[in-house]
Amino acid sequence: RWMCSSSSDEEVLKNLGQMVKKDKVVVFMKGTPAQPMCGFSNAVVQILRMHGVDQYTAYNVLDNQELRQGVKTFSNWPTIPQVFFNGEFVGGCDILLQMHQSGDLVEELDKLGIRS
Amino acid sequence: MAITKDHIREKLIAELGAIHVDVEDTSPNRCATSFKVLVVSPQFEGKPLLQRHRMVNTCLATELKEIHAFEQKTLTPEQWEKQKQQ
């Protein structure tokens, strides 16, 4: 299992490359969609829910310190939550919120075949 | 050294050519050092949101290591003018 504590940083990064492609929408957050442990992670969950995105892969970084650090390095982004569409880094909570407000999110989800 | 609102504002003006910066210290609402910033800079012109936010993150990379929560909004001068009229 990749979560094993002996895995090197390199391995974590390699695994992340596969993890973000696992689903059309992948979120790294604090807590789970059912129980977010931070307001920013909760905001991402609520925005996705508002757009009818309920089937997505979420990873709880609080469960795994290596993942918490690794995802920051992987995407060169300093904070959690982090959202990926089709394996591409989209941004954090602020960006998702602004995309929601501008209407860009509907468009991006449409490209993924998800109807808001 | 504690990070101050003025320090963040001055750095964004100096390094990103920001013409307007609002910094709100949101630490009292949270459990640790937190800030919310609005950055208006002509350097954001023609750049997608992600790239703009990356510019801010890069500018404040040292500070972000000590900041627990960071919210940002990035606007071009034109977008800012529009927003002010609303």
Interface residues from chain A to B (CB-CB < 8 Å): 40, 76-79, 89-95, 98-99
pLDDT below 70 — which residues of chain A? 1-7
Q: Domain holding B67: CATH number? A: 3.30.300.90
Q: Interface pTM (ipTM) of the complex?
A: 0.85
Rounded mean pLDDT of chain B? 94
Cβ–Cβ < 8 Å for A47, A105: yes
> E strands of A2-114, at which residues?
25-29, 57-60, 82-85, 88-91
Instruction: Over range B3-13, report the average pLDDT.
Output: 96
* Domain that residue B54 falls in: 5-85
Bridge partners of residue B73, in order along the sequence? B38
Q: Which residues in chain B touch residue A77, judged by CB atoms under 8 angstroms apart?
A: 54, 57
Our count of domains for chain B comes to: 1
Q: Rounded CA gap, B55 and A73, in Å?
A: 16
